[in-house]
Amino acid sequence: MKRSIVLLTALAGCIAACHNKGPEQKGSTNSSSTTETKESYEYINNKDTVSLSYTANGNVITGTLISVLAGASRTAGTIEGVIKGDTIIADYTMDQAHHEKTSVRQVAFLKKGGKLLEGYGDTGEKDGKIVFTNIANLKFVDAVSLSSTAAK
């Protein structure tokens, strides 16, 4: 009889221990379901170069955008935004190195066939930054399409 009680107590302890590990494993699975990915895109044509590198954590992205166009000054800065389906909408903050004050403008890119197409549309100023007036009306053109490269 004592042996049965000891076995039942041990079995109950094992079941309780296994049951307690379940939620921990479930919680760790949920936190790892949001994986961090790095992507890089680049456009090079004669003396023009545009490069975008970003890290995506779920649908949130952060990264850098650099543009060197012939006849124009070099611009570089950071982007912070979101990915909605195959579209990136982000705030581009230009570095102050070549500008008197920080400049922020909204940018958009459409992922299409391993490339990023930049979005263009009407803009206006809101809260000190340049934003698209209607994101639904953006036009994505391949005049300057950025090709995927190995993440840097």
**Cβ-proximal residues to 115 (8 Å cutoff; 6+ apart), any chain:** 41, 142, 145, 146, 147, 148
Q: Do 56 and 88 contact (CB within 8 A), yes or no?
A: no
Between CA 35 and CA 58 the distance in angstroms is 6
pLDDT at 20 over 60: no
Mean pLDDT of 98-124: 89
Q: How confident is the model at residue 100 (pLDDT cuts 50, 70, 90)?
A: low
pLDDT digits (tens, 9 = 90+) for 29-60: 444 466 899 999 999 998 899 999 999 999 99
Residue-level pLDDT at 96: 63
pLDDT averaged over the chain? Answer: 79
